Amino acid sequence: MKSVIIAGAVLLLASVTGCYYDNKQELYGSCDSSNVTFATTIEPIINANCVGCHGSSSPSAGISLVGYDQVALAANNGRLVGTMNNTGGHMLMPPGGKLDNCKLNQVNKWIRNGLPK
Amino acid sequence: MALLFSMSSFALATTYLPPAVSLERKSLRIINMHGTVGLPKGQWEMFIQHRFGTFGDGAYNWYGFDQSYMRIGLDYGLGKRITTGASRSSMNKIADAYVKWEIPMKSKSWTASWYSNVSINTNHRATIAGEPFYYSNRLRFINTLNISKNFGDRLLIGVTPSFIHINLANTTTSSNDIPVIGGYTRLKLSNRYALTAEVQKPMSDQFYNVIGGYKNTNRPASPYLGLGFEIFTAKHMFQLSVSNAQSMNETYYMVGENGGNAFKNFRFGFNIVRRW
């Protein structure tokens, strides 16, 4: 009986508390891919999601993503888009799961626009 | 005399179970989904799951075998009808915990359970959303009513209506609540081998949210699909599978964050299960 009460309490806790009706667009603004540059848009994405492993000292797989030149190199040889979208036989990066569509769109747009600084 | 007594009590303890159900009692899961049966009180189950890359990755990546996501977890029979467990997946860095309650049924061939799970995405804040960040952004919930029936000695068919809640949806028009319908089947071939299959898909294109009214569930064209082959050895259960889902967490693969039904979107995977 005791375990039933404990389990019931956990169930209730899990299904009632912490239920929110949020969405990214309302909380964090809509996706702005109109004016994408390296300094304003791409560098923060890369720093938050890639540099942890692909930093300047002993980067993973020998690929550093610190600074414009290194990121532009990865963008030009197709590995940046391939890994981020998990296409063309590239391993998915970051390994924790795909970035959201907004960030992927911004990266794609940046590459299409010719890698503006 | 004591030997006789212990023998008779053993005979009392082993009641007949149809084979399809008896195999159900070797592993809590079919492939990704839970079956209806829980763990006996005081028993532990450990499971290790792997899902590889898609067959479409090509020969260079050994048809997906070069990359894999894994999940490791532990289940425990808390009470006579209550099973609980927790796990960690590398995909989306998810930690999740669940409680499963076996609903008492009068009929021997029908079994049912209620499954309730909460999943925490433990990725970096910046990967999930912007600032100011709320802890609630990390959470997803699922409640499932799991009903299954035995047909004869070998076939088991289950139906699983579920309700998923996503705390942080993508856009103002995407639904936080998603009802999902699906099911599974297990065909026992012998004492060692069985074939399994499971399928899941959101019920409708739109769903009514308590806050915000009708919103899109972003229902995918093709459902989640998994086909499995089970091998039960003396102590371990091996569940080999081919499925189009990369995530092993219900709140992700059920709502269509997986590939279509073309062969190139399918991937190999396996579960290893051990009870004690």
CA dihedral B143, A7, B35, A98 (to 10 degrees): 50
Contact B168 A27 (CB under 8 A): yes
Partners of residue B82 in chain A, C-beta under 8 Å: 3-4, 7
Least confident of A17-31, A67-81, B69-83, B214-228: A17-31
Whether B6 maps to a domain, the answer reads no
Whether B192 maps to a domain, the answer reads yes
For the beta carbon of residue B43, count every other beta carbon within 10 angstroms.
Answer: 13
**SS3 state of residue B256:** coil
C-alpha distance from A112 to closest chain B C-alpha (Å): 23
Q: B180: left (phi > 0), else alpha (psi -120 to 50), else beta? A: beta
Q: Tell me, what's the pLDDT at B135?
A: 83
Strand positions, DSSP E, chain B: 44-54, 68-77, 82-89, 94-103, 110-121, 139-151, 155-159, 162-166, 168-169, 177-188, 193-202, 206-209, 213-216, 224-232, 236-243, 267-275
Contact B61 A91 (CB under 8 A): yes
Whether B269 maps to a domain, the answer reads yes
Residue A79 has pLDDT above 60, yes or no: yes
**Nearest CB partner across the interface for B92, out of A11, A21, A96:** A96
Omega of the bond prior to B132 within 30 degrees of 0, cis?
yes
Partners of residue B58 in chain A, C-beta under 8 Å: 89
Q: Total structural domains in chain B?
A: 1
C-alpha distance from A61 to closest chain B C-alpha (Å): 14
Specify the DSSP class assigned to residue A90. P
Angstrom distance (rounded) from CA B40 to CA A55: 49
Task: List the single residue in A with minimal CA-CA distance to B176.
Answer: A21
Threshold 0.80, pTM exceeds? no
Partners of residue B212 in chain A, C-beta under 8 Å: 21
Give how far the C-alpha of residue B255 lies from the chain's centroid of Cα atoms, to the nearest Å: 13
Angstrom distance (rounded) from CA A46 to CA A60: 14
> Which residue in B40, B10, B12 sits closest to B26, CA to CA?
B40
Angstrom distance (rounded) from CA A30 to CA B166: 19
Give how far the C-alpha of residue B24 lies from the chain's centroid of Cα atoms, to the nearest Å: 13
Contact A101 B124 (CB under 8 A): no
> Which residue in A30, A17, A10, A8 sits closest to B165, CA to CA?
A17
Instruction: Taking residues B201-225, report their average pLDDT.
Output: 85
C-alpha distance from B213 to closest chain A C-alpha (Å): 11
Q: Which of A13, A20, A41 to mutate to test binding with chain B, by most B CBs within 10 Å of its CB?
A: A20
Contact B91 A96 (CB under 8 A): yes
Angstrom distance (rounded) from CA B178 to CA B255: 8
Residue B14 has pLDDT above 60, yes or no: no
Residue B30 has pLDDT above 60, yes or no: yes
Give how far the C-alpha of residue A56 lies from the chain's centroid of Cα atoms, to the nearest Å: 19
Question: Residue A44: CB partners within 8 Å, gap ≥ 6?
Answer: B126
Parent domain of B77 = 17-275
Angstrom distance (rounded) from CA B92 to CA B79: 31
- Per residue in B98-118, pLDDT tens? 999 988 888 878 889 999 999
**SS3 state of residue A62:** helix
C-alpha distances in Å from residue B152, one per residue of A3, B37, B129, B187: 34, 18, 51, 11
Q: What percent of chain A has pLDDT over 90?
A: 0
Residue B10 has pLDDT above 60, yes or no: no
The answer to whether residues B181 and B158 touch, using CB atoms and an 8 Å cutoff, is: no
Angstrom distance (rounded) from CA B217 to CA A45: 28
Task: List the single residue in A with minimal CA-CA distance to B259.
Answer: A86
Contact A100 B58 (CB under 8 A): no
Task: List the single residue in A with minimal CA-CA distance to B129.
Answer: A24
Instruction: Taking residues B24-34, report their average pLDDT.
Output: 84
C-alpha distance from A70 to closest chain B C-alpha (Å): 21
Which CATH number fits the domain that encloses residue B252?
2.40.160.40
Residue B151 has pLDDT above 80, yes or no: yes
Whether B11 maps to a domain, the answer reads no
C-alpha distances in Å from residue B112, one per residue of B104, B171, B247: 8, 36, 25
Contact B141 A89 (CB under 8 A): no
Whether B220 maps to a domain, the answer reads yes
Whether B206 maps to a domain, the answer reads yes
Contact A101 B61 (CB under 8 A): no
**Nearest CB partner across the interface for A22, out of B60, B97, B137:** B137
**SS3 state of residue B202:** strand
- Per residue in B249-261, pLDDT tens? 888 888 876 777 8
C-alpha distance from B189 to closest chain A C-alpha (Å): 36
Q: Which two tokens stand for residue A102?
A: 């907004």
Concatenated DSSP letters for B67-122?
-EEEEEEEEEE-SSSEEEEEEEETGGGEEEEEEEEEEP-SSSSEEEEEEEEEEEE-
Whether B222 maps to a domain, the answer reads yes
**pLDDT, chain B, mean:** 84
Residue B71 has pLDDT above 60, yes or no: yes
Q: Which of B43, B82, B144, B177 to mutate to test binding with chain A, by most A CBs within 10 Å of its CB?
A: B82
| End-to-end Cα separation, chain B, in angstroms | 30
Whether B9 maps to a domain, the answer reads no
Task: List the single residue in A with minimal CA-CA distance to B54.
Answer: A89
Question: Is the ipTM here above 0.90?
Answer: no
